[in-house]
Structure 1
Amino acid sequence: MLDATTTDCRLQRTRGRADVGFAKGRLTHLHQQGAAKAMLPRMHGRWPEIVFLNTAGGITGGDRLAYSVALGEGVQAVATTQTAERGYKSTTGTGRVQVHLSLGAGAELHWLPQELILFDQAALDRDITVEMATDARLVFLETLVLGRAAMGEHLGRVHLTDRRSIRRGGRLVMLEPLRLRPADLTRPGTAGLNGATALASLTLIAADAEDHLERLRRILPNTDVSAAASAWGGRLTARFMAEDAFPLRRAVAEAVQILTNQPLPRVWQL
């Protein structure tokens, strides 16, 4: 309880960690702490589905959250989030999120979280690392929405650093550092966002990744959403940009189903 003479009000901050592991077709560990939760709903596809949740409802300055998935040899699973994550306005400090994904020999993971929505004056650092065996298979999605369109929000000040790295057989095969600053929101042309408020990156890491390129390109949209895809060296990546999140979500959902040949996670809303 604060008394009338208190001058330094320390705000309560969120802490949370959720770790899930599968091996030999069964759950081997499930750890939940604080605001981070992991749910395992009844299967509606061919594989187990892991649904992560932040019970705090979003992330603000000073929050710390960590999530991990570990798949043993030959395990196949889907991981997603119950809803879009929200980066709230920060009055002090930066929120931090760490994600670690591990895939054993012959394992396959579809990492399909819903969007990260940044509110005006959000401050967030996120680090996503993947360690996968040479013959493992990964579908990896990240989607970013800038502002709340329904409220007519335009970001005037925002801080985001987002580092994504994937190692396959111990070798770095993808490194994507993203730093978003206010000037980037209005920069025109291919060097900037050119008015886009919704962005997505969808990657397949697999021995046959290049084989899926033409099929994926055939369904990429040419109106409402700017999209392109390329493939090389066991990696296929598609990028999406749009002025509105809804058409982007529909385009990404179609592309995800091309690469996974599975139904979308049940918690997704289209």
Structure 2
Amino acid sequence: MFDRPASQPSLQRSHGAARIVMGSQGLADLAQSGSAKAMLPRVAAGVPEIVFLNTSGGLASGDRLSFTAILRGNARAVATTQTAERAYRAEGIAARAEVHLHAGENGWIDWIPQETILFDGAGLDRDTQVDLAPGAGCLLLEMIVLGRLAMGESLCRLRLRDRRVVRCAGRVVHHDAMVLDDRTLPRLAGPALLDGARAVATLAMIASHAPDLLDRARALLDEPGVTGAASAPPGRLVIRLLARDDWPLRRQVNRLLAALRPDPLPRVWQV
């Protein structure tokens, strides 16, 4: 038996799912399991806040995490995460994260999670699916930080597949995807890709009035250290941001959210 190589120990995997349903009068249903939690902080004014939390502290190889927020007709809410998500080094199987959002007729949902930090060697497949009923709208934010910048970490290995799809009355109206892997990492410094940026963000609003906010958004794209551009396809406003550091990127995002949303930022964003 001493001639056989030692087998690799089976690593513990984290699995979690949180699902919350909101009506026009507040909470209608809540289910949570594993490492995923959903909280409803008390707010003095403004729309209800949904705060999702991954109690495992991050996403490692083989982990599974699912967040679901369902708003019934005429309901409004803002959903976010308690802190930045971290994707750790993954050996073999990538971590899987899913976000499912639904806004009923004439409803509105903001999905503004805090940033995702990708450690060297991270593997993450993330899928965000949004379903809007007629008359509903949404605002979506994704911020990604490549490496632990304060520690001077450079990414040598990475696997990221990030997709966001929005459907209105069953028809796809917005599809945004990003793929970063070992083949693209050496070319990220090129002007056609990230131009050396280590922090990126995409802000998208899907609503009939979204294109009307284009000039307001462009007027704010002047944060030092951040390169940004905004466009307004029919029924949408899309803003893309690049920065070499996450702090100026977050300042720029905060300014945009304050200008594009009628409500204050969630309390966890103000800590």
TM alignment of 1:222-241, pairs within 5 A: 223-241=224-242
Question: Which residue of structure 1 aligns with residue 118 of structure 2?
Answer: 118
Amino acid at match of 2:226: V
Which secondary structure does the structure 1 equivalent of 2:90 belong to?
Answer: coil
The share of aligned pairs that are identical, in percent, is: 47
- Structure 1 length normalisation: TM-score? 0.95
Stretches (4+) displaced over 3 A: none
Tell me which amino acid in the other structure corresponds to 2:255: E
1:56-85 CA-to-partner distances (Å, cap 9, x unmatched) read 000011101111000000001010000000
- The one-letter code sitting in structure 2 at the alignment partner of 1:261 is P
Equivalent position of 1:52 in the other structure = 52
Does the CA-based 8 Å contact 2:190-2:196 persist in structure 1?
no
Task: Name the residue aligned to 1:159.
Answer: 159
- The answer (yes or no) to whether the contact 1:14–1:64 under 8 Å persists in 2 is yes
Cα contact 1:155–1:182 (8 A) shared by 2: no
d(CA) in 2 for partners of 1:252, 1:186: 27
Confirm or deny that 1:216 pairs with 2:217: yes
How large is the RMSD of aligned CA atoms in angstroms?
Answer: 1.5
Q: Is the 8 A contact 1:184 1:192 kept in 2?
A: no
Please list, as runs of the form range in 1=range in 2, the aligned pairs for 1:1-270 lying within 5 A after superposition.
7-187=7-187, 188-221=189-222, 223-269=224-270
Which ranges in structure 1 are unaligned for 5 or more consecutive residues?
Answer: none
How many residue pairs align between the two structures? 266
Shift of 1:44: 4.2
Q: 1:234 corresponds to which letter in structure 2?
A: G
One-letter identity of the residue aligned with 2:57 = G
Which stretch of the first structure deviates more once superposed, 234-243 or 87-96?
Answer: 87-96
- Equivalent pair of 1:71/1:104 in contact (CA under 8 Å): yes
Q: How far 1:252 sits from its partner (Å)?
A: 0.6
Any idea what SS the aligned residue of 1:267 has? Answer: helix
Q: Provide the rounded CA distance (Å) in 1 between the counterparts of 2:162 and 2:44.
A: 32
Match of 1:212, SS? helix
Q: Say which SS state the counterpart of residue 33 (structure 2) adopts.
A: strand
Contact 2:214–2:237, Cα closer than 8 Å, also in 1: yes
Measured in 2, the distance between the counterparts of 1:156 and 1:57 equals 23
> Contact 2:16–2:33 at 8 Å: present in 1 too?
yes
